[in-house]
Amino acid sequence: MSIWWSLHLRREAASVPLARRLLLGTMETAGVDPDISYDLSLALGEACANAVEHAGEGSAEFRVTAYLDGEKCRIEVADSGPGFPQEPVCAFTRSTAPVDAESGRGLRLIEELADHVHFGNRAGRGGAVVSFDKSVKWRADAPVALTT
């Protein structure tokens, strides 16, 4: 069994905990290990906070899509703002962002919490995309794991 959902949220601070709670509730119901769920919800919160803060004046909403399938959960947060600067992707990684930097700490945190992370821009439409995934561990009594 797989679970997929997509949200279109207003670009306001109240959307961040809403997205996190939906993800946590879905993962708890499916039977995902609570530590994995927490890591993913924290990474999602950081990605949503970036969309709220940096999406630009003309952007009223952003999109969150999550896929929970078998041994992996993949999450994508996309906005329609100006996107990431046209610098190499490595400019957004932990190797170059100082720990005490005023910006970029959320991206570093996402990198630490997820197994694979991609920061990019939406082709042709503008806007930033942050996508990440993590291997899933299931509780012994997980209803979804029992059917796969």
Write down the pLDDT at residue 59.
73
Quote the tokens at residue 82: 């100006």
**Position 101 pLDDT exceeds 50:** yes
Across the chain, what does the average pLDDT equal?
85
pLDDT above 70 covers a percentage of the chain that reads 81
> One-letter amino acid identity for 119?
F
**Position 145 pLDDT exceeds 60:** no
Which is more confidently placed, 131 or 127? 131
- How sure is the predictor about 83, in pLDDT bands with cuts at 50, 70 and 90? confident
131 φψ region: left (φ > 0), alpha (ψ -120 to 50), beta (else):
beta
Write down the pLDDT at residue 126.
78
The residue-averaged pLDDT of 10-38 equals 95
Report the length, in residues, of the chain: 148
- How sure is the predictor about 92, in pLDDT bands with cuts at 50, 70 and 90? very low
Look at the pTM and tell me if it is higher than 0.75.
yes
Write down the pLDDT at residue 99.
57
